[in-house]
């Protein structure tokens, strides 16, 4: 069955380019990003893995661990990582799961046979510290993902988790946020000392609370 938002992210143990990972234990209290790649030594994947390596500091700042999965062996991953480092000016500094038997790919429904025979499509799962799935997305093999967008979503998810705000269309760091509908307007001043604007009774905006 498909994994839905709010589900517990399925746990697994897998070999990776950095040793054995027990997923839930490895996550600990961190957030996590699990993302799949169709195959080693493929061009779009090479650029994506390099970008994630160069963004590792941004993920660390947000207490997020990143974990890639590709349906090839550890030895294959290690050779490919050398190419990624060379061509993308990076050091791949996070584990890549070796999934030749497609155990993780199947567990997370990452193989969409009508799109790509026997290989994973490009999926992303963001998992919270409670191990629940907070976001899932699926891209075709031919379109590289935008990892700035993944960071933007993480910022939004963490604001919601910590401050009871949501983020409006095209929100970026520093932009005003939406007070969640569960908060009554009369309770806003106590919770949001930076103030708020009532555009409509159901649309209440407040400055980003963590700045």
Residue 61 C-beta: closest distance to ligand BEZ, Å: 28
Give the span between the Cα atoms of 98 and 87, in whole angstroms: 21
DSSP output for 50-67: HHHHHTHHHHHHTTEEEE
Residue 119 C-beta: closest distance to ligand BEZ, Å: 6
- Nearer to ligand BEZ among residue 5 and residue 115 (C-beta): 115
Residue 42 C-beta: closest distance to ligand BEZ, Å: 3
- Nearer to ligand BEZ among residue 38 and residue 95 (C-beta): 38
Residue 122 C-beta: closest distance to ligand BEZ, Å: 8
Beta sheet of 133-139, edge-to-edge order: 19-22, 13-16, 96-98, 64-70, 31-37, 122-127, 133-139
Give the span between the Cα atoms of 183 and 89, in whole angstroms: 47
Which residue ranges make up the site for ligand BEZ (CB under 6 A)? Answer: 38-39, 42-45, 141-142
Cβ-Cβ contacts under 8 Å for 137 (sequence gap 6 or more): 123, 124, 145
45 is a catalytic site residue:
yes
Q: Do 72 and 164 touch, CB atoms closer than 8 A?
A: no
- Nearer to ligand BEZ among residue 43 and residue 57 (C-beta): 43
Residue 105 C-beta: closest distance to ligand BEZ, Å: 14
* Marked catalytic residue, from 14, 45, 68, 105: 45
- Nearer to ligand BEZ among residue 79 and residue 129 (C-beta): 79
Structure-token match 């997923």, residue found? 23
- Nearer to ligand BEZ among residue 43 and residue 113 (C-beta): 43
Q: Is 75 exposed, middle or buried (0-12, 13-18, 19+ CB in 10 A)?
A: exposed
Tell me the catalytic residues: 45
């Amino acid at each position: 069955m498909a994994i839905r938002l709010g589900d517990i992210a399925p746990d697994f143990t897998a070999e990776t380019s950095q040793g054995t990972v027990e997923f839930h234990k490895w996550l600990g209290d961190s957030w996590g990003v699990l993302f799949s790649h169709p195959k080693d030594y493929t061009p779009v994947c090479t650029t994506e893995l390099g970008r994630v390596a160069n963004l590792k500091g941004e993920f660390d700042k947000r207490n997020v661990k990143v974990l890639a999965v590709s349906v090839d062996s550890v030895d294959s991953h290690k050779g490919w990582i050398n190419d990624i480092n060379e061509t993308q000016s990076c050091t791949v500094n996070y584990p890549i799961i070796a999934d030749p038997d497609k155990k993780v790919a199947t567990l997370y429904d990452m193989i969409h046979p009508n799109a790509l025979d026997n290989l994973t499509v490009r999926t992303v799962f963001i998992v919270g510290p409670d191990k629940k799935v907070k976001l899932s997305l699926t891209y075709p093999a031919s379109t590289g993902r935008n990892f700035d967008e993944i960071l933007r979503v993480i910022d939004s998810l963490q604001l919601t988790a910590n401050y009871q705000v949501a983020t409006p269309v095209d929100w970026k760091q520093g932009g005003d946020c939406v007070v969640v509908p569960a908060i009554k307007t009369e309770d806003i001043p106590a919770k949001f000392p930076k103030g708020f604007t009532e555009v409509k009774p159901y649309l209440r905006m407040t400055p980003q609370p963590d700045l």
